Amino acid sequence: MTFSQRNYFEIAIEKQAPATITKASFPLRYGSYSEIKTTDFEFRFNLNGEIKFIRGLNLNWPHPAEQLKRTDGNDWLYNSVGDDSSEDGVISWTGEYYLPCLPYPSNAVWEINYFSNPNIMNAFAAWSQLYADLYSSRGEGLHARARHLINLILENDDRVLHDRSRALRAIIGGRLSVLPPDTRHVDYEIIPLVIADGCLYHCEFCCVKSKNWFRKRDRADIREQVRQLKIFYGRNIENYSALFLGNHDALAAGKELVCFAAAEAADAFEFQKTRTGSPYLYLFGSVASLLNADHGLFNTLNKLPFYTYINIGFESLDASTLKVIGKPVEAEMVQEAFQKMLDVNSSHANIEITGNFLMGEQLSSKHYESLIDLLGASPSSPKGKGTIYLSPLKDNPKKRELLPRFLEIKENSQLPTYIYLIQRL
């Protein structure tokens, strides 16, 4: 349903795009959303009336497929197509047709500072102007549905959106410092549910770890999070098809807690209602938690109503590198865990384990040689399972110079290989 308002803007209420995200070189559109178009910008809102995307429509906008996106953590990201939008560009580095440019420090190999581009920054001024115009019109003379949408948007001003991101953190017990790289498949749109805090290793190189040592949450805590999350997401919950079980090593929480949390969330959030395929379950694991996980865990996960991604931090296969980065595991354990990843991927249709390795100017040639040997000798998976993510060290001095190194590893790898961008919620 589309309405025009005195030629200033056009409103489309609850448009329906496919729930499943298609990897394509045009701007992402998924789920149910409302849209307001002015002459120069397109604003998209979720089912709660919260601003979600802004895209420029005139020739000053850098690229028609680029857009600003606001996360549930209230960060504004800029999805760029980079400086090479061919199949050799962004898609070959990240597996996606866009590059999320973040407003906070991360480990990106590219530096795109969208804050310095006035054409992009104009979008925020246009958003403020639209808000003021909506406020002064309050939808007078419009259809009741358009008026309702405008009231919802007006209720969600910048202060409210900021407070909501804090409320989300309060429900799950803190900000999530990193999302699994596999959440790119759902444009990082996940519902977080924390089942354990801290991690087993406290590696020296790691920039996302918390102060805490590993500790599971109890069932009552998980149930309460689910209850509050359902209220928090409100009507817009139907736009989510993915659950992230946090935090840094949910796999170490064990079969019972993982399956309990997944079942509680699947039931409460009704993921299957709006999707044709399986919803997604994401979690992180470690070398130790993968080695300790028995077949019972994978067999049970395989039967859940989810397609499950487990992302493991391997970091390196070289003993001297593991020492330099301060990761307290043996190289043999990494090798064994990597083999287990391949075995689980080939024996469980609904589970995909993926792995992370480090990249950085500071790392020795032994690290790269052992990595190229490992990935070159791995049996390729018929379904492209077992993606390897190469994570640049955060303080790497020369960022973009890592790309040729990445491409060399990728070309020699039998497994899909991409760059890992640390993104928070």
For ligand SF4, the binding residues (CB under 6 A) are 199-203, 206, 208-209, 248, 286, 313
**Closer residue to ligand SF4 in complex, CB, 42/182:** 182
Q: Can you count the helices (H) and strands (E) in the chain? A: 12, 17
Nearer to ligand SF4, 82 or 180 (CB): 180
Find the shortest distance in angstroms from Cβ 107 to ligand SF4.
12
Nearer to ligand SF4, 200 or 324 (CB): 200
Please answer whether residues 38 and 7 qualify as being in contact, where contact means their C-beta atoms are separated by less than 8 angstroms: no
Contact 79, 100 (CB under 8 A): yes
Shortest distance, position 225 Cβ to ligand SF4, whole Å? 20
Alpha helices, DSSP H, located in 13-89: none
Taking the complex as a whole, the smallest distance from the CB of residue 365 to ligand SF4 amounts, in Å, to 23
Phi, psi of 280 (to 5 degrees): -110, 145
Burial class (CB in 10 A: 0-12, 13-18, 19+), 172: buried
CB closer to ligand SF4, 164 vs 209: 209
**What sections of 198-318 are H helices per DSSP?**
219-233, 255-269, 287-292, 295-303
Shortest Å distance, C-beta 375 to ligand SF4: 20
Reading the block at residue 11, the tokens are: 């409103």
Distance between CA atoms of residues 65 and 100, nearest Å: 12
Q: Which is nearer to ligand SF4, 11 or 196 (CB)?
A: 196
CA distance 54 to 42: 6
Query: Smallest distance from the beta carbon of 199 to ligand SF4, in angstroms?
Result: 3
- Of 208 and 407, the one with the shorter C-beta distance to ligand SF4 is 208
> Do 34 and 52 meet the contact criterion of CB atoms below 8 Å apart?
no
Rg (CA), the chain: 22
CB 115 within 8 Å of CB 103: yes
Q: Output the smallest distance, CB 205 to ligand SF4, in A.
A: 7
CB of 425 to ligand SF4, least distance (A): 15
- Nearer residue to ligand SF4 within complex by CB, 194 or 199: 199
By the 10 Å C-beta count (0-12 exposed, 13-18 middle, 19+ buried), 132 is classed as exposed
Residue 210: CB minimum distance to ligand SF4, A:
8
Handedness of CA 265, 24, 47, 247 (dihedral sign): positive
Nearer CB in complex with ligand SF4: 91/425: 425
123 token code pair: 């979008």
CB of 332 to ligand SF4, least distance (A): 18
User: What's the distance, Cα to Cα, between the start and end of the chain in Å?
Assistant: 33
Which residue(s) pair with 51 in the sheet?
A: 45
- The answer to whether residues 294 and 300 touch, using CB atoms and an 8 Å cutoff, is no
Specify the residue, 199 or 304, whose C-beta has the smaller distance to ligand SF4: 199
